[in-house]
């Protein structure tokens, strides 16, 4: 943008999903920026020449870069980097304050019908999907790919795992057998997220990330169908398979939507108390009479139970010391698992930026 008259010019045709910070090199012949090209990528450091606007990636890290500052008279910079440190904790649902740490995990996980856990981990040096028993035994890596694989969901018959992967450039919905074999892409086009499975196992519900509308695609592959023309993300199917609970928006305020499984306008709008944590996934209670969700109220993260009849919400459990990244109850309701942890912040020195 020209300082004199405010005229704007597109300097490059290359697109980024988000540019967090940018700074000029001392000679003004290039700039360095912290940015990511896709929703699910980590912020990396990029060098952009000027006026040629040739872009080259400087870093390729598992941990994202945040702030950035370049020395006034040198070809070096410092950047802050955040590393998430988190683990899966498991314990009896009747005593949710007595969870035990099991293994390293990140982002979302799910229970299988036979009581195992499918989870994302960076143990291999990449964000892949793994499966294990609830006590951490018999851990097996399911995906081996340089891309990011995440957000697993298992079919009621324990046959398939649905997940998201950006191995084709943007996040799409994929399907694989529960042993990790036969990995098949189900969606195309713009980025997708938050897949979940219908009660009969025949459909996969998901969000398009450009508008957060709700869609579904046959689990055996085929044409996708749009269910909403409004924001309805983090879908969760009710136990009887007739309803979907989603997160929605009323202006700047977040609420909980109860939507028919066939789509259309919401049947109910329920209050979302507090503010959203890193993961605000909605779950159903086994009887289908209420939904539960995580929220932050006056500091700690809580899990609240909200009756569908609009009654007052009640606290299920709180996590006063760690950040909650995901949670879920086993299919028989006897166990609770949660991904808990925090962030480690470091400052990184980068040299030779002019090369």
**pLDDT tens-digit profile of 93-147?**
988 888 999 999 998 999 999 999 999 999 888 899 999 999 999 999 999 988 8
pLDDT for 27 equals 67
Q: Cα–Cα distance between 198 and 291 in angstroms, integer?
A: 17
Convert the pLDDT of each residue in 301-313 to its tens digit.
Answer: 889 999 999 888 8
Please indicate, yes or no, whether residues 77 and 123 belong to a single structural domain of this protein: no
Q: Which band of pLDDT confidence, cut at 50, 70 and 90, is reported for residue 38?
A: low
Nearest partner of 337 among 84, 56, 89, 7, judged by Cα: 89
% the chain with pLDDT above 70: 88
Q: Which band of pLDDT confidence, cut at 50, 70 and 90, is reported for residue 243?
A: very high
Q: Cα–Cα distance between 244 and 226 in angstroms, integer?
A: 14
Is 13 within the bounds of a domain? no
Please indicate, yes or no, whether residues 235 and 300 belong to a single structural domain of this protein: yes
- End-to-end CA separation in angstroms for the chain: 27
Is 4 within the bounds of a domain? no
Query: Helix and strand tally (H, E) in the chain?
Result: 0, 29
Q: Six-digit token pair at 104? A: 């390293």
* Residues forming beta bridges with residue 208, ordered by sequence position: 192
Nearest partner of 304 among 288, 285, 322, judged by Cα: 285
Please indicate, yes or no, whether residues 282 and 263 belong to a single structural domain of this protein: yes
pLDDT for 3 equals 56
Mean pLDDT on 158-181: 96
Cα separation values, 127 from 40, 134, 165, Å: 11, 20, 10
Please indicate, yes or no, whether residues 52 and 90 belong to a single structural domain of this protein: no
Please indicate, yes or no, whether residues 140 and 210 belong to a single structural domain of this protein: yes
Mean pLDDT on 213-224: 97
How many structural domains are present in the chain?
2
Q: Six-digit token pair at 259? A: 């939507």
Is 8 within the bounds of a domain? no
Please indicate, yes or no, whether residues 222 and 326 belong to a single structural domain of this protein: yes
pLDDT for 10 equals 65
Backbone CA torsion sign across 77, 278, 231, 129: positive
Nearest partner of 116 among 96, 94, 142, judged by Cα: 142
Please indicate, yes or no, whether residues 270 and 220 belong to a single structural domain of this protein: yes
Please indicate, yes or no, whether residues 315 and 167 belong to a single structural domain of this protein: yes
Q: Which residue has the tokens 């991904």?
A: 339
Three-class secondary structure of residue 302 per DSSP? strand
pLDDT for 346 equals 67
Is 307 within the bounds of a domain? yes
Q: Which of 73-82, 103-112, 187-196, 212-221 has the lowest mean pLDDT?
A: 73-82
Q: Cα–Cα distance between 327 and 304 in angstroms, integer?
A: 12
Q: What is the pTM of this model?
A: 0.80
Q: Which of 66-70, 167-171, 330-334, 343-347 has the lowest mean pLDDT?
A: 343-347
Please indicate, yes or no, whether residues 197 and 226 belong to a single structural domain of this protein: yes
Please indicate, yes or no, whether residues 98 and 121 belong to a single structural domain of this protein: yes
HSE (side-chain half, CA atoms, 13 Å) at 107: 20
pLDDT for 311 equals 85
% the chain with pLDDT above 90: 54
Strand pairing report for 290-296 and 214-218: unpaired
In this structure, which long-range contacts are made by residues 68-73, counting pairs with CB atoms below 8 Å and at least 24 apart in sequence? 68/20, 68/21, 68/22, 68/23, 68/32, 68/33, 68/34, 69/23, 70/23, 70/24, 70/25, 70/26, 70/32, 70/353, 71/26, 72/26, 73/26
Name the residue range of residue 41's domain: 18-82+344-350
Please indicate, yes or no, whether residues 158 and 180 belong to a single structural domain of this protein: yes
């Amino acid at each position: 943008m020209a300082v004199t008259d405010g005229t704007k010019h597109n300097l490059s045709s290359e697109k980024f999903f988000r540019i967090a910070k940018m700074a000029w090199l001392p000679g003004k012949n290039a700039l360095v920026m912290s940015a990511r090209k896709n929703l699910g990528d980590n912020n990396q450091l990029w060098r952009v020449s000027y006026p040629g606007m040739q872009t080259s990636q400087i870093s390729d890290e598992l941990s994202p870069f945040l702030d950035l500052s370049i020395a006034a008279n040198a070809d070096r910079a410092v950047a802050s980097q955040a590393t998430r440190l988190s683990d899966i904790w498991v314990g009896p649902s009747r005593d949710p304050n007595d969870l035990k740490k099991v293994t390293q995990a990140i982002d979302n996980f799910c229970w299988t019908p036979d009581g195992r856990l499918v989870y994302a981990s960076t143990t291999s040096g990449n964000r892949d999907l793994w499966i294990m028993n609830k006590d951490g035994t018999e851990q097996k890596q399911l995906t081996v790919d340089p891309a990011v694989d995440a957000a697993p969901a298992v079919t009621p018959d324990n046959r398939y795992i649905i997940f998201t992967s950006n191995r084709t450039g943007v996040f799409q919905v994929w399907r694989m057998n529960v042993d990790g074999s036969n990995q098949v892409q189900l969606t195309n086009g713009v980025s997708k997220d938050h897949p979940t499975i219908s009660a009969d196992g025949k459909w996969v519900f998901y969000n398009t990330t450009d508008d957060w509308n709700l869609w579904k695609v046959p689990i055996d592959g085929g044409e996708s169908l749009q269910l909403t023309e409004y924001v309805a993300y983090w879908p969760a199917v009710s136990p009887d398979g007739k309803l979907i609970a989603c997160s929605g928006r009323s202006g700047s305020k977040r609420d909980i939507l109860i939507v028919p499984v066939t789509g259309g306008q919401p049947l109910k709008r329920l209050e979302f108390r507090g503010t959203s944590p890193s993961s605000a996934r909605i779950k159903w209670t086994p009887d289908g009479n209420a939904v539960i969700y995580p929220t932050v109220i006056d500091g700690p993260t809580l899990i609240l139970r909200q009756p569908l009849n609009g009654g007052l919400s009640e606290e299920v459990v709180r996590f006063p010391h760690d950040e909650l990244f995901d949670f879920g109850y086993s299919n028989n309701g006897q166990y609770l698992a949660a991904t808990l942890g925090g962030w480690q912040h470091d400052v990184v020195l980068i040299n030779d930026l002019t090369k």
